[in-house]
């Protein structure tokens, strides 16, 4: 296994409830330097590029139904759709997109880890 380059920054984006914090925790245990990019809360579409400047951007997809169930959110569908709109620029520029709707946290981690190991090789 290739060792992660601790100087490279991995940005993690996605709507609330997509598993960003869980993935970050799992990757950091493996030595990766990660940052949660709170792009879903920003009106600045390219904030992830300006503030975080990640070397790798991972986007976690999550449906309205799963977001609200995972986080016990009292949202309307429009709230989720607004987050997706705010995330659209990051989605378009992501190095890796993982659909978390049918995956558990370990599967999401395995997918990200596989990509990053290939990226660093």
Contact 90, 48 (CB under 8 A): yes
Edge-to-edge strands, sheet with 96-99? 33-36, 9-13, 56-61, 96-99
Contact 60, 23 (CB under 8 A): yes
pLDDT tens digit sequence for 37-88: 876 766 677 777 778 899 999 999 999 999 888 877 788 999 999 999 999 9
Per the rule left: phi > 0, alpha: psi between -120 and 50, beta: everything else, 15 is beta
Picking from 35, 33, 30, the residue whose alpha carbon sits closest to that of residue 7 is 33
Model confidence pTM above 0.75: yes
């Amino acid at each position: 296994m290739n060792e992660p380059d601790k100087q490279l920054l991995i940005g993690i984006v996605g709507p609330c409830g997509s598993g960003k914090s869980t993935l970050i925790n799992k990757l950091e245990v493996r030595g990766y330097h990660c940052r949660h990019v709170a792009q879903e809360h920003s009106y600045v579409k390219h904030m992830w590029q300006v503030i975080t400047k990640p070397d790798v951007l991972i986007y976690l997809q999550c449906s309205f139904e799963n977001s609200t169930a995972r986080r016990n959110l009292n949202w309307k569908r429009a709230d989720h759709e607004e987050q997706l709109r705010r995330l659209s620029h990051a989605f378009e520029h992501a190095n890796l997109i993982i659909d978390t709707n049918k995956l558990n946290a370990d599967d999401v981690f395995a997918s990200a880890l596989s990509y990053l190991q290939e990226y660093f090789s």
